[in-house]
Structure 1
Amino acid sequence: MRGSVFLQGLISCLIVAFGQPSFAPWLSPLAAAFGYALFWRAIRIFPFSKQRFWRAGVWYSFISLVQLSWMSSIEFQGIYILFVWLFLSLCLGVQFGLLSILIPYNRPLTMARILAMASVWTLLEWSRFHILCGYSWNLSGMALSVAPALQFAALFGILGLSFWVVFVNLLAVRAFLRRGIFHYAIWIGAALIPYAFGQVHTLYHERQMAKKENAKDFSCLLVQTGLLPSEKMPLGGRIRSFISPYDQWKRILTFLQSEGDKGAQLIVLPEAVVPFENGRCVYEREKVEGIFQEVFGKDCRRDFPSMVAPFGVAGEGRVSNAFWTQTISNLFDSEIVVGLTHSEDNGNSYVSAFHLQPHREEQERYDKQVLMPLAEYLPSRWLLPLVRSYGVSGFFTRGKQERVFDGEIPLSVSICYEETFPHIIRQGRRKGAKLLVNVTNDGWYPYSRLPSQHFEHARLRSVENGAALIRACNTGVTAAIDSLGRTVAKLDECDDQGQILAGALFAKFNPYEYFTLYTLWGNWGIVSLSLFFIGIFAFLKKEFRW
């Protein structure tokens, strides 16, 4: 008996841990259908809730350690990130342990209990969004983020997928226990619903796209610098790796020049694309203009902006990052979205994304709302000595709201980790954005699964909101994704030899967008349903002592 329990636990653990698109996509449908069920069936033999709790906690903690294995990349984070990795995994294990207490011992698994358990897990995952900076990584619903099942997210988002994964797995437990054809049919039917819905949903919108024959394709250039943090900024003990900001910009200009004849309507540069704030005048104007002329020829002189703030200071001969980006916008006659920091006179600093239009001096700005603890904001003063030991001395102010930038297509921007929060991306869509843009810097965890996992979250955001999404990342994955979550163009983190890729990715796609139920009600749709199911179960349990 013990051997059988261990074997089921091990097999289920491997299926769930690796059953995600960034690990083994072919395992994802298995994880979504019965990965959890095998484990729950195994621990159901234990009569005491404590026995089920700690076994489930250990089981899920190991799964989290696997899925968050990118946190073991300590090259730029240091040893402390290993403790964060372990702590997060244990916390997630505790959540799953609490859920597994509800697995009944020697009693039938009723439909009311199944719905209530799926609801409890959904609320537990939802709660993660609102603790400290929020934690949105690797929700259970990621097992359904493979085609065509990910289209199911258009109804209730990623949390709806998580609800369905747990619901289907509990139906599997009931089918395994009762062994009736009727129960197997219900389980298999429920497991297939997301795939059937996804197929119909995709075919419908493909036909709608085809009807709009006159719709113009949208083109963009997405820059991937291919530089690690030590190459982008001077870090203690790694000064020799640092590349001059002049040379960093020259690389970017060279990438753009190689694709410049394709007529991109929008150019996107990643988060923290170069050192220094957007409007800080630290570059010698003569040297900057010389680099532009070397790459683009002398005719580019007419595209230099005026020496006014934020581009430069007249009489001082120095210009800012804003001078570089506005010149690029003027040269290519393209809009630009670029990730740079920004400081105000009151001392507040922001991680920002700027929107520029050609031959205009006004720049629009969006400020990052989800800041990373320790790196971008300080949760508590007692942590100050720790962050100072890593050379971090300044912190940023949190942005207050989403913004929509007007251009050829209204667009909203997210910065890095924000892309994994469905409710934040939805804010921009609700305000009228028809294109979603993300600028990211995943280079702090090089040669890990972080970029690929981050990319899978991006695909879900496009489906949830029925809008195309483009993303520019320093070290990948830079990509263009259509409104059905399909990859149009992609530049991975590394090539086949393990070398980090760099360049400008040209993408041309249909900007078709459509209404989704998730955009209408956001996370509150599935949260409200979950509360309803829990209320029904609590009432029935009281009336009938279930």
Structure 2
Amino acid sequence: MQINENRIFSKIIFFIFSFIVVAFGQPAWIGFFGFFASFLGYLFFWYSIYDLQSSIKKGSISFLWFFLVQSVQLSWFTSTKYQGDLIYIVYVFLLFWFALQFALISYIALKDKKITFLKIFFIASLWCIFEWSRLFVMCGFSFNQVGLAYANNHLSLQLASVFGIYGLSFYVIFVNLTGLKAFIQKSISAYIFWIVLAVFPYFYGYFHEKIYKNRFLNSPNLNVCLVQTSILPEQKNLTKNYFDSFISPIMQWERIFNLINKSNPGKLDLIVFPEAAVSYGAKECFYPFDAVKELFIKKFGQDVVYKLPVLKDPYAIYYDYIWYVSNCYFAKALSNVF
């Protein structure tokens, strides 16, 4: 009786540990937990329910466990600031969808006691397909792959150079199921193979970085300025209920100029902006040229006028006796300045 109670207690510990390291094992939460999630998290969960007799119970508990894991990892979805209360429906739908997928692979994995490498490969592949298929449902969902467990460490993340984030997800499931096989069979060779799989991404990443570091030392240098505008959606675009937060597009460019000048970059080969860095499209001629010219003189000196692009399509249009320029004009002008 005491042995049985100890076994139940250990299973509960495995269950709780697995939830904590998987739910919080992402860079956005407690990043180093991802190390444990990558080879122990799912293994400990499956091991905690392995002895249950009912496959339905195993599937149901798997559904609930992954539902709770995803509720933590996707909690950022619950912000109603932009989408309103209807976002909760989307949130619950995603939790249900992902939990159902995980319950299915758990059911397949634990339906019978025999776990072969062919079965492990099949389940890991199926999970990879499940995650990939999310891209094709409605507008697609490209976030929150289980492979993000490797994302907190620059060494393990190098494995993504081989087969991408979905390959990392395949690898996480494969490693954890291999560990489950080792735990169940108590096989020394299975334990060794599991450990080798667990540490392989870090060895690969170390040598991958070492090789490319030597190549970089012998390659030409590029002087690059990375510009992070750190601007909120309602500051960049006119948004209902947030009109007071909107920043004039020309002032947005002034902030960008300040960021570039602050770094005192000298001559630049590249200036890199985030996606949709400023208001409006690239070729929409919205800015009065005289105001833009004054801004460039203010930030870069009087001589900058000789570096400004010629006023022509797609950089500018002439309308009602006034020249207006586009975001393309700003980009071209910056390339001339630097």
In the superposition, relative to structure 1, how do residues 279 and 124 fare at CA in structure 2: closer, same or farther (>3 Å)? Answer: closer
Which of 153, 162, 179 aligns to 2:160? It is 153
**1:272-304 deviation per Cα after TM superposition (whole angstroms, max 9, x unaligned):** 322223222322222221121122222111122
The root-mean-square deviation of aligned C-alpha atoms, in Å, is: 2.2
Deviation, structure 1 residue 48: 2.9
Distance 1:306 1:133, change over 3 A: same
Partner of 1:301: 305
Deviation at residue 4 of structure 1 after TM alignment: 5.1
Amino acid of the structure 1 residue aligned with 2:227: V
State whether residues 5 and 42 of structure 1, in contact with CA within 8 Å, keep that contact through their aligned partners in structure 2.
yes
Q: Deviations over 1:25-50 (max 9, x none)?
A: 32122111111011111222233332
Aligned partner of 1:65 in structure 2 is: 71
1:331 positional shift: 1.6
Structure 2 distance, partners of 1:207, 1:230, is 44
Share of identical aligned residues, percent?
34
What SS class does the counterpart of residue 278 from structure 2 fall into? Answer: coil
3-state SS of paired residue (1:102): helix
Counterpart check, 1:45 vs 2:72: no
Alpha-carbon distance, 1:16 to partner: 0.9
Contact 1:125–1:139 (8 Å) recurs in 2: yes
Moved over 4 A (4+): 1-6
Deviations 1:208-253 (A, max 9, x none): 444x2xx211111122222212222222222222222222222222
Distance 2:165 2:183 in 1: 27
CA contact (8 A) 2:156 2:204 kept: yes
Query: CA shift at 1:150, angstroms?
Result: 2.1
State the AA in 2 paired with 1:58: L
Q: Which amino acid aligns with 2:20?
A: L
Closer, same or farther in 2 for the Cα pair 1:195/1:259, shift >3 Å?
A: closer
User: Which of residues 90, 114, 119 in structure 1 aligns to 2:120?
Assistant: 114
- Supply the AA of the counterpart residue of 1:75: K
> C-alpha distance in 2, partners of 1:291/1:154?
43
Contact 1:46 1:105 in 2 (8 A): no
Structure number with higher relative contact order (C-alpha < 8 Å, ≥ 6 residues apart)? 1
Partner residue, 1:35:
41
CA distance in 2, matches of 1:208, 1:317: 48
Q: Distance in 2 between matches of 1:275 and 1:171?
A: 50
- The TM-score, its normalising length taken from structure 1, stands at 0.57
* Pick aligned residue for 1:144 from 140, 150, 163: 150
TM-score, normalised by the number of residues in structure 2: 0.89
Matched length: 329
For structure 1, the residue ranges without an aligned partner over 5 or more in a row are: 333-546
Q: Which residue of 1 aligns with 2:286?
A: 282
- Residues 232 and 151 of structure 1: CA distance in aligned 2, closer, same or farther (over 3 Å): closer
Equivalent pair of 1:171/1:187 in contact (CA under 8 Å): yes
Residue 15 (structure 1) aligned with residue 21 (structure 2): yes
Partners of 1:285 and 1:105 in 2: CA distance:
70
The structure where strand makes up a greater share of residues is 1
Contact kept, 8 Å, 1:19 with 1:27, in 2: the verdict is yes
Amino acid at match of 1:9: F
**In the alignment, does 2:182 pair up with 1:175?**
yes
Deviations 1:63-111 (A, max 9, x none): 1121122212322232222222221121110000000111335623222
Cα distance in 2 for residues equivalent to 1:152 and 1:270: 25
* Counterparts of 1:170 and 1:40, CA distance in 2: 8
- 1:223 is aligned to 2:227: yes
2:110 is equivalent to residue 84 of structure 1: no
CA 1:103–1:283 in structure 2 vs 1: closer, same or farther (change >3 Å)?
A: closer
Structure 1 residues 115 and 227, CA, compared in 2 at 3 Å: closer, same or farther? Answer: closer
The Cα shift of 1:260 comes to: 4.7
Q: Is the 8 A contact 1:44 1:103 kept in 2?
A: no
Structure 2, unaligned runs of 5 or more:
none
Of structures 1 and 2, the larger Rg is shown by 2
Provide the residue aligned with 2:202 in structure 1. Answer: 195
